[in-house]
Amino acid sequence: AFGRLRVLNLMDCKHLTATPDFSNTPHMVKLILDRCILLAQVHESVGCLKNLICLSMRDCYQLKELPNSICELSSLETLDLHRCSKVSALAMHVGDMESLKRLILDQTKIKTLPDSMRQLKKLNLLSLDGCRSLTELPEWIGSMESLRNLTLRGSTVERIPESIGQLTNLVRLNAERSSIVALPHSIGKAKNLRRIYVDHTAIEEVPDSIGSLERLEIFSLDGCNHIKFFPSSIGLLKNLAELSIGATLGCTGGIRELPESFGSLTALRRLYINLNAELLTVPSSFFQISSLEDLSAHGCNWLEGVDGNDFSKLSSLKKLNLADGNFYTLPSLASFSFLKTLTLSFCERLLSIPQLPSSFEELVAMGCSALETIFDISHLKALRVLKLNECTKLIDVHGLEKLRSLEELTLNDCSNLSHALRDRIK
């Protein structure tokens, strides 16, 4: 009766404990068993599905193992076991699934990867997110020549093998919040890498070979509090568009120094260096990054003493976050014709806000307890958001009543505002 069946979707069959016999459905190409939360057994006949391309079993919490016959699925391209939290091993001959392209094992109890996996020459995605029983990757992973995406987020993998340098097609490596303690020196040989995420790991240094990754576009190291310095080779990353090197709130570590070569990052558009309190100065070359559009330096101390002429070179900025800074004054921003958003919240020493460009749309300066003056804002025809809560010394905001695009205005606890201002904005 089901001889022509090509797709079987049993998603959310919450009372299903075992799959049916598949012997009479030889033409099936897609089998979906997602969220069959009581499913504990897959029938051995699944190996008869020689045309099966996709097998998805996400969130099958009671499933402990798959039958060995699954290795006979020579056409299978996707095997998804996401959050099958009782699965602790893969079939020994999983490498026989010669067409497999995507293997998703997130939040399983997998302890090791079978040696036969080295035969998966077409595999382009290996996802091991949240695998808390897996502590290492095998050295042979470098033989997976088609691998483009390797993700280890939240896993207990401690070491990425040197053989990763052999993965010349690898485009994305995500090991954020994993247990890794170092990036291998060989990573510079993975020439096609475009995105690396190692946020909130115990990595202590960036290998000098990083400069060889000429195609790298995103490098994210937020919360890597043990990293103090960057190698000068970072300046060789000509295509780097986004760099995140923020420290963790309350930590005593973080970046202490940026190399002079930092200014050679000519494609950099987004830079997030939040909470690096020990970074007291930046190299003069920093202000040569004319491509920079989004700069977030929340909780940093290097702005105090920066030459206004140097700062004005960052004229492509569209978004600037300097919250929690300890500076008294800001460099002139009048020439920043692209600037749309400025965040200065809790800059408790800031005395004044200078003239803002006419393109400006959003000013957030809450908790600036020393703020006394803001340059006339009547020319800010595009200003939509103005938040000045708890600016207790602020007396007036000249030009406020002339704003026609304003959508959100907050002046809570600005206890010193003049009656004249209150009358003008009634």
**CA dihedral sign of residues 75, 80, 84, 86:** positive
Tokens of 282: 């930046």
Backbone angles phi, psi at 54, to 5 degrees: -130, 125
Residue 205 has a pLDDT of: 94
Report which DSSP code applies to 193.
-
Q: By 3-state DSSP, what share of the chain in percent is helix, strand and coil, each rounded to 5?
A: 15, 15, 70
Tokens of 96: 């026989």
Residue 97 has a pLDDT of: 97
Per residue in 232-254, pLDDT tens?
Answer: 999 999 999 999 999 887 677 78
Parallel, antiparallel or unpaired: strands 30-32 and 7-9 = parallel
Q: How far is CA 426 from CA 380, 385, 400, 401, 421, in A?
A: 20, 18, 11, 9, 9
Q: Provide the percentage of residues in the chain whose pLDDT is more than 70.
A: 99
User: Which residues 6+ apart lie within 8 Å of 426 measured at CB?
Assistant: none
**3-class SS at 269?**
coil
Residue 426 has a pLDDT of: 67
Residue 160 has a pLDDT of: 96
Residue 293 has a pLDDT of: 97
Residue 39 has a pLDDT of: 97
- pLDDT category at 418 given cuts 50, 70, 90 is confident
Residue 136 has a pLDDT of: 93
| Residues paired with 319 in a beta bridge | 294, 341
Q: How far apart are CA 152 and CA 236, in angstroms?
A: 27
**3-class SS at 220?**
strand
Residue 3 has a pLDDT of: 79
- Asked whether 136 and 113 are in contact (CB, 8 A), the reply is no
Q: How far apart are CA 195 and CA 386, in angstroms?
A: 36
- Asked whether 221 and 227 are in contact (CB, 8 A), the reply is yes
Query: Over 80: is that where the pLDDT of 423 sits?
Result: no
Q: How far apart are CA 182 and CA 202, in angstroms?
A: 7
Per residue in 169-192, pLDDT tens?
Answer: 999 999 999 999 999 999 999 999
Average pLDDT, the chain: 94
Query: Over 70: is that where the pLDDT of 90 sits?
Result: yes
- Interval 33-39 mean pLDDT: 97
Per residue in 258-316, pLDDT tens?
Answer: 999 999 999 999 999 999 988 889 999 999 999 999 999 999 888 877 888 889 999 99
Report which DSSP code applies to 32.
E
Residue 1 has a pLDDT of: 61
Tokens of 381: 């025809």
**3-class SS at 263?**
helix
Q: How far apart are CA 405 and CA 384, in angstroms?
A: 5
pTM attached to this predicted model: 0.94
Residue 81 has a pLDDT of: 98
Q: How far apart are CA 204 and CA 182, in angstroms?
A: 7
